[in-house]
């Protein structure tokens, strides 16, 4: 009884109250266990799909349409980074010449996209590590295109083929990649599948540490040998926030809405949170905060285990 009263008091004076849904009667959950109310069904979301998974306990704490296949925009870049790192043989300090094929051609919809690039120009030079940082920290499409051409591909394979093969290996059975940046709305997945991608990405120290960087300064070398510096900022607005979403990738297209996939370390609980097709940039981050807060504040029943997300290996 004291637990219920404390939760009522907490929610009554909580800024998240307007986003939490309560029922006023007893229901029966599928397992047959009766739940007494007040019992929270979770935050109200504009997001079409979402899920939260406790990484250490292996429990699904929240799920909304988590098996629905939707465009994922720049969350795609997590898979691009994985494939690049698995195949890269170059030194991080190697200077890379920018080619015409690396440039992003602006379209009539370009103003609707998240940071389209770092506006690098043909003939300029960047160090490889700065290109990698630009792809994940700023979500730069031009930098991502550079990464995708820098590895030696197996005969008859394209970079995108390796991405789709990796998705199959990770048992991301409802995922398909059409390009390396996420600009193609045919890059599609589910919240359930993206949990598997986050699990794989966060096992890679380079990806995990890169996503924790708030901003990064680096030089770009011009054709005549001069250099100037550019600063990029992380698109994750919850980095350093009390909710501690310490490693996350955002994405946006008109077709995808506002998306987010990442790892939170809130009160020493590692939570994977996925948001797909939220209505606005503000909604995306507010709903991620609400989900993280709610799932660490209330008791939950009838959990699935994390084994549901792990690929089967020999």
Q: Would residue 139 show up in a list of annotated catalytic residues for this protein?
A: yes
The pLDDT confidence band at residue 305, using thresholds 50, 70 and 90, is: very low
Instruction: Tell me the C-alpha distance between 20 and 10, whole Å.
Output: 12
Strands (E), 44-178: 49-54, 59-64, 70-71, 95-97, 125-127
Prediction pTM value: 0.83
Looking at residue 28, its pLDDT comes to 40
Q: Would residue 74 show up in a list of annotated catalytic residues for this protein?
A: yes
Given 66, 134, 135, 139, the catalytic residue: 139
Instruction: Tell me the C-alpha distance between 232 and 171, whole Å.
Output: 34
Tell me: pLDDT of 174 over 70: yes
The count of other CB atoms within 10 Å of the CB of residue 171 is 16
Question: Average pLDDT for residues 87-105, to the nearest whole number?
Answer: 92
Q: Would residue 264 show up in a list of annotated catalytic residues for this protein?
A: no
Given 49, 64, 77, 189, the catalytic residue: 77
Domains of the chain: 1-44 (no CATH), 46-91+154-218+236-314 (3.40.710.10)
Longest Cα–Cα distance of the chain, Å, equals 74
Instruction: Tell me the C-alpha distance between 54 and 272, whole Å.
Output: 7
Tell me: pLDDT of 181 over 70: yes
| Residue 279 near residue 259, CB atoms below 8 Å | no
pLDDT in tens, 34-64: 544 444 567 889 999 999 999 988 899 999 9
Separation of first and last alpha carbons in the chain: 48
Given 49, 66, 74, 256, the catalytic residue: 74
Instruction: Tell me the C-alpha distance between 198 and 189, whole Å.
Output: 13
Residue with tokens 């540490």: 209
For CA atoms 54, 60, 65, 66, the dihedral sign is positive
């Amino acid at each position: 009884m004291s637990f219920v009263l404390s939760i009522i008091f907490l929610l009554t004076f909580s800024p998240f109250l307007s986003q939490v849904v309560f029922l006023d009667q007893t229901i029966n959950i599928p397992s047959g266990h009766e739940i007494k109310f007040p019992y929270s069904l979770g935050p109200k979301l504009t997001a079409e799909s979402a899920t939260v998974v406790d990484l250490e306990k292996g429990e699904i704490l929240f799920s909304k349409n988590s098996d629905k296949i939707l465009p994922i925009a720049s969350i795609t870049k997590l898979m691009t980074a994985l494939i690049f790192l698995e195949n890269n043989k170059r030194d991080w300090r190697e200077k890379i010449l920018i080619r015409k094929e690396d440039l992003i051609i602006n379209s009539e919809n370009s103003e609707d996209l998240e940071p389209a690039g770092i506006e690098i120009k043909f003939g300029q030079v960047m160090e490889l590590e700065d290109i990698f940082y630009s792809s994940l920290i700023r979500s730069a499409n031009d930098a991502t295109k550079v990464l995708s051409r820098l590895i030696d591909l197996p005969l008859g394979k394209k970079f995108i083929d390796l991405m789709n093969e990796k998705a199959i290996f990770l048992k991301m059975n409802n995922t398909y990649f059409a390009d390396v940046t996420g600009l193609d709305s045919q890059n599609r997945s589910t919240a359930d599948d993206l949990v598997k991608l986050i699990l794989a990405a966060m096992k890679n120290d380079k990806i995990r540490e890169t996503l924790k960087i708030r901003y990064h300064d680096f030089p770009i070398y011009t054709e005549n040998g001069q250099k100037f510096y550019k600063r990029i900022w992380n698109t994750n607005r919850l980095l350093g926030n009390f909710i501690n979403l310490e490693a996350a990738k955002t994405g946006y297209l008109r077709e995808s809405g506002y998306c987010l996939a990442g790892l939170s370390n809130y009160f020493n609980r590692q939570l994977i949170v996925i948001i797909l097709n939220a209505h606005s940039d503000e909604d995306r981050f507010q709903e991620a905060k609400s989900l993280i807060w709610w799932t660490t504040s209330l008791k939950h029943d009838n959990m699935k285990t994390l084994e549901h997300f792990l690929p089967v290996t020999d």
